[in-house]
């Protein structure tokens, strides 16, 4: 390791990690029953085989709280040792209060500052960088950084360019202050607003508040222009990772494992090629989870460590891109005992974690009708696929002017 951090500087070390994925599995074969696509088409173009779907009683906050407690247990500290909670998400439980505030209460913390980070799929990496800054400034000793998403409730299940891609889940890390070498090293973050409307949710904000008209036009679903997003992602993930490595005083060959945002296997392959590295150095789990947005990197990080892909002394790069054409990368010199992760996961059962609900208010069934219908169907259904295009999926619905 070539640690260029000045002597005496507080460093941010990853001391805990945890993840949570809902038990419900939505396979490509399941999607064949509700949208004009096929398992072969999805696998060859995205690398995704299945994804997880949150149950009706689960929310972004509840999944985040499970992952958070697992990370805290792995770190060997108590919930009240956490000084700051940062939660990256684009699918908050509510527009207010912050989902981080709900997680604070659910994990039993009484003293942390808590707020959400909105950088779409880059949200966890942006939160990680923010946590490092707090620690280096002496403003926090232990910071909980979470990425959590419940995207399956924001998808148009008639739009095969988006509904095949996304899944639900949460991941978290604890960053702790230390005077020892290692931990988080170089950081690089960028934002390119010219891509602001390549991935977006048209309605629900102050520009287009919810109304009967926005609902009728399907403006509360994720929309994405796949071709432009693909081109941006393949370029920015490589350049952002390279700059993070450079800021760490390292070279790409010094990195033992890359943990990229799990959006598309072709993007990950292009990044590996751009960095001149074999795919063996790229950790991939999108075949099991699909694109979980801000949860993607922390789920993959926790899984990689628990599977023995990371050992003490390894240099690891986390890198992501997202809506607003954000991107971020952090190079980490790993210092924690990887064996602690499995015990941390086992110590927290999802059924023991509860997010307090509002008084005198009940939501409607949050599961989209098409998805709820699919979950209730027994057996298989043959779907004609004669008109499936051999190339890219059809473009997402054009924004309403």
Is the bond preceding 235 in cis, omega lying within 30 degrees of 0? no
Active site residue 121: yes
Give yes or no for a contact between 140 and 83, defined as CB atoms under 8 angstroms apart. yes
What counts of helices (H) and strands (E) characterise the chain? Answer: 12, 13
Going through 104-167 in order, the beta strands assigned E by DSSP cover: 113-117, 142-150
Beta bridge pairs of residue 51: 26
Give me the catalytic one of 13, 109, 261, 264. Answer: 261
Beta bridge pairs of residue 169: 149
Give the whole-angstrom CA distance, residue 180 versus residue 331: 16
**Token couple for 167:** 């899944």
Q: Pairing relation of β-strands 113-117 and 24-27?
A: unpaired
Chain centroid offset of residue 295 CA: 2
Give me the catalytic one of 28, 121, 315, 333. Answer: 121
**Token couple for 287:** 């075949």
Give me the catalytic one of 109, 291, 315, 333. Answer: 291
Active site residue 291: yes
What number of other Cβ atoms are within 10 A of residue 358's Cβ? 8
Give the whole-angstrom CA distance, residue 286 versus residue 100: 25
Active site residue 163: no
Cβ within 8 Å of residue 254, ≥6 positions away: 2, 245, 315
**Token couple for 347:** 């110590």
**Token couple for 20:** 């949570």
**Token couple for 379:** 């057996």
For Cα atoms 152, 382, 388, give the angle at the middle one, nearest 5 degrees: 70
Rg over CA atoms, the chain: 20
Distances from the Cα of 174 to the Cα of 89, 252, 272, 390, angstroms: 17, 26, 28, 44
Q: How far apart are the first and last CA of the chain?
A: 53
Q: Which residues are catalytic?
A: 121, 261, 291
């Amino acid at each position: 390791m070539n640690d260029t951090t000045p002597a005496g500087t507080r460093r941010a070390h990853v001391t805990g990690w945890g993840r949570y994925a809902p038990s419900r599995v939505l396979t490509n074969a399941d999607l064949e029953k509700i949208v004009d696509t096929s398992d072969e088409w999805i696998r060859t173009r995205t690398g995704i085989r299945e994804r997880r779907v949150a149950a009706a009683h689960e929310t972004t906050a509840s999944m985040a709280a499970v992952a958070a407690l697992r990370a805290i247990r792995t770190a060997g500290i108590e919930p009240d040792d956490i000084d700051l909670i940062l939660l990256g998400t684009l699918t908050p439980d509510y527009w207010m209060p912050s989902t981080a505030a709900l997680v604070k209460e659910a994990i039993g913390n009484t003293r942390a500052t808590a707020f959400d980070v909105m950088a779409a799929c880059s949200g966890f990496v942006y939160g990680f960088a923010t946590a490092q800054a707090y620690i280096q400034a002496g403003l926090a000793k232990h910071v909980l950084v979470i990425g959590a998403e419940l995207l399956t409730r924001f998808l148009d299940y008639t739009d095969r360019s988006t509904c095949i891609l996304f899944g639900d889940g949460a991941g978290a890390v604890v960053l702790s202050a230390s005077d020892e070498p290692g931990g988080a090293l170089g950081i690089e973050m960028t934002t390119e607003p010219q891509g602001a409307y390549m991935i977006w949710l048209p309605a629900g904000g102050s520009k287009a508040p919810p109304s009967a008209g926005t609902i009728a036009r399907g403006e509360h679903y994720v929309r994405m222009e796949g071709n432009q997003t693909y081109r941006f992602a393949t370029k920015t993930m490589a350049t952002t990772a390279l700059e993070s490595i450079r800021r760490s005083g390292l070279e790409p060959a010094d990195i033992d494992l890359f943990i990229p945002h799990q959006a598309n296997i072709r993007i990950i392959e292009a990044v590996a090629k751009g960095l001149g590295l074999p795919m063996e150095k790229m950790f991939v789990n999108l075949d099991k989870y699909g694109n979980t947005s801000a949860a993607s990197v922390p789920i993959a990080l926790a899984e990689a460590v628990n599977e023995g892909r990371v050992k003490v002394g390894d240099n690891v790069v986390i890198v992501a891109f997202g809506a607003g054409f954000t991107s971020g990368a952090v190079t980490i010199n790993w210092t924690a005992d990887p064996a602690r992760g499995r015990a941390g996961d086992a110590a927290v059962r999802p059924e023991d974690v509860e997010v307090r609900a509002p008084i005198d208010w009940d939501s409607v069934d949050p599961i989209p009708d098409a998805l709820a219908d699919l979950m209730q169907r027994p057996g298989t259904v043959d779907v004609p696929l004669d008109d499936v295009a051999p190339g890219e999926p059809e473009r997402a619905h054009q924004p309403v002017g």
